[in-house]
Each structure stands twice: as structure tokens, then as C-alpha cells.
């Protein structure tokens, strides 16, 4: 018998979310390399030629925001976040799935609220045309944009996490 349509829809949603997060994880890796290159060039320029990159530290801070927030959801995809396996491993399959469902709901709720708050911070900075105090003009909204994007993606991933575990729980009941 073929799979039911909700399970197929969840799998498609999960696959799309995974692909988006894999692309952003690769982008975060690229940002890591760019930060390393900038640090080497900045330090070399400072000590060899007495010419550091103007605003280099601030540019690296902006890049760091994207590195951090673009990696959050991918860490959940691959199971890289801290988990309470000491306790969960003692549960039976059904109770473990219920605990995973609770974690999905709590994670989604927390990161959805952070998305809302992060968007507000970004939007206020955008409207005020806020700039970082640096030797060059750098928009402060630029690193603030990484926050709502990153936490939105992890909230979506927690939704996928919840739906996947819900499907596993209901499959057990049907089987």
C-alpha cells in the first residue's frame, strides 16, 4: 500500500527545508573562509605595511552574524544541537516521540518569537538608516537582517521536526 498523502507532503517539506539549509551551511562555510582571509590580510597589512583594512573588524562582525545565524537550522537538520539523550534513551519509543514532539513545539514557539522580535529590530534599524560606529559607514541593519532570517529558518526546521515525529507517532498507532 502506498504512503498516505500527509506523509509524502511532510517528506517534500523536509527535503526542501534540508536543501535550503544545506545551501546556507555552504554559504556559512564560504563566509568562514572569507573571514579567515580578511583577518590574514588585515593583520599582514597592519604589521607589514602599517595599512590595515579600513573597517575590517566591523566587516568581519557583520560576516560573523551571517555565519552564526545561517548555521542554526542546519545544525538541527544534522542533529548537532545539544540533546538530553541521557534522559531520552531511558524512555520507550512512544514516550520518546512524545518528548520529541514537545521539543518541536517549544523550539518552534521560541524561534518564531525570536523571528518576530528580530524582524522588529531589523526593521527599526532599516527605517532609521542606522550605521555602525566605524571608520567607514556600514549599515547596522545588515547584521541585524541575519537574525530574523536565521531564526525563521530554524523555526521552520522545528516545524519539520515536529511533523516528522508526529508522523512517526501516528504510524506506530496505525501499524
Q: Which of 120, 121, 140 is nearest to 130 (CA)?
A: 140
The CA distance from 12 to 91, in Å, is 29
Q: Residue 120 above 80 pLDDT? A: yes
- Grid cell, residue 145, equals 537582517
Q: How confident is the model at residue 175 (pLDDT cuts 50, 70, 90)?
A: very low
69 contacts 24 by C-beta, under 8 angstroms:
no
Cβ(55)–Cβ(140) below 8 Å: no
- pLDDT (0 to 100) of residue 174: 52
pLDDT at 1 over 50: no
Distance CA 97, CA 30 (A): 36
Binned at pLDDT 50, 70 and 90, residue 138 comes out as very high
Span 82-95, average pLDDT: 78
Q: pLDDT grade, residue 60 (50/70/90)?
A: very high
Position 2 pLDDT exceeds 60: no
What residue ranges do the domains of the chain occupy?
A: 5-174
Q: Could you tell me the pLDDT band of residue 118, with boundaries at 50, 70 and 90?
A: very high
For the residues 83-109, what does the mean pLDDT come to? 86
State the average pLDDT over residues 25-35. Answer: 95
- Measured N-to-C along each axis, helices 93-128 and 141-174 cross at an angle, to the nearest 10 degrees, of 160
Region 32-58: mean pLDDT is 93
Instruction: Say what the pLDDT of residue 45 is.
Output: 93
Amino acid at each position: 500500500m502506498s504512503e498516505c498523502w500527509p506523509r509524502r507532503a511532510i517528506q517534500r517539506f523536509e527535503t526542501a527545508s534540508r536543501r535550503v539549509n544545506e545551501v546556507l551551511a555552504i554559504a556559512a562555510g564560504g563566509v568562514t573562509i572569507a573571514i579567515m582571509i580578511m583577518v590574514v590580510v588585515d593583520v599582514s597589512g597592519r604589521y607589514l605595511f602599517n595599512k590595515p583594512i579600513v573597517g575590517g573588524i566591523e566587516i568581519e562582525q557583520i560576516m560573523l552574524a551571517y555565519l552564526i545565524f545561517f548555521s542554526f537550522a542546519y545544525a538541527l537538520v544534522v542533529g548537532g544541537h545539544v540533546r538530553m539523550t541521557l534522559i531520552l534513551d531511558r524512555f520507550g519509543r512512544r514516550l520518546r516521540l512524545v518528548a520529541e514532539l514537545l521539543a518541536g513545539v517549544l523550539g518552534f514557539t521560541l524561534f518564531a518569537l525570536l523571528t518576530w522580535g528580530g524582524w522588529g529590530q531589523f526593521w527599526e534599524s532599516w527605517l532609521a538608516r542606522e550605521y555602525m560606529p566605524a571608520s567607514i559607514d556600514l549599515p547596522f541593519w545588515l547584521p541585524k537582517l541575519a537574525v530574523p532570517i536565521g531564526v525563521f529558518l530554524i523555526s521552520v526546521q522545528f516545524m519539520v521536526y515536529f511533523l516528522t515525529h508526529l508522523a512517526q507517532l501516528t504510524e506506530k498507532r496505525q501499524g
